[in-house]
Amino acid sequence: MDGLFQEQIDHLAERHFLVLYWVAHAEDRRIRYNLTNCFDDLKLAGITRTKQTALATVEALTALRFIEIREQGNRKNLYITQHGAEALKLLVLRGAFSPRKSAFLEAQL
C-alpha cells in the first residue's frame, strides 16, 4: 500500500497541495472552509478560472480520501483527513510546492 500512496502523492498537482494546505489551516483556526472559498482562492492564486476545475480538484482529493466533505447547513465544508495530512506532510517535506496564502483565511484575521 505504501507504494500506491507514494504514487498517489506523486501525481498530485499544485492545486491539490494548496487545497490540502488551506483546508488544514482553516481547521486549525476553526474556520469553516467550503467549496466556494476554495474556488475563490484557486482563482485568486491564478490556478484556475473555472469552478469546474475547483470542483474536480476537491472531488479528486475526496476520492483519494484526503479530504472529506461535510454538509453543514446548506454549505459543503471541507476537512482534511489523516491520509490527507500524511500526503500534505510528504509534499511539504519534499518541498514540491510553495504554500500560498488563502485570501479567504487572510480576510478572517
Partner 1 sequence: MTLGIGGAGSRLAVKLDPGATIVNVSQIELEKTPAEHRILAMVHAARGQLQGSRKDPAIGRAAFASVKDELLALCRNSLLFASTGGGTGSGMTAALLEELATRDDIPPTEKAVFALLLPHAERESAEYVNNTLDFLRGPLSLAIDTGNTGNIFLFSNRLKFESRLPEDEYNTMLVDSLQVFLAIPEKCAQLDLLDGHIDPEDFSLFMSRPYFNHFTYFEFDPAKPFGEQLRSNLNPLLLLPDNPIEALFLLEVPADADPAPFYDLIDFFVDQEVTPSYTVVRNSQRGKYFVTVSLLYSRKPAELVEDFSRISEKRARAKVRKSLEQHVTLPRLEVNLERETKRVGKEKGATEEDVLAVLQRIGKL
Positions that interact with partner 1 (CB under 8 A) = 21, 24-25, 27-28, 80-82, 84-86, 88-89, 92-93, 95, 98-101
95: region left, alpha or beta (phi > 0 left; psi from -120 to 50 alpha): left
Q: How far is the CB of 108 from partner 1 (least distance, A)?
A: 15
Q: Which is nearer to partner 1, 70 or 89 (CB)?
A: 89
Shortest reach from residue 95's CB to partner 1, in Å: 4
The CA distance from 88 to 105, in Å, is 18
- Which CB, 3 or 95, lies closer to partner 1? 95
Burial of 27 (0-12, 13-18, 19+ CB in 10 A): middle
Q: How is residue 29 annotated by DSSP?
A: T
> How far apart, in Å, are the Cα atoms of 102 and each of 69, 82, 85, 96, 108?
19, 21, 18, 18, 10
Cβ 26 to partner 1, closest distance in Å? 10
Cβ-based nearer residue to partner 1, 63 or 93: 93
Our CB check for partner 1 shows the closer of 21 and 39 to be: 21
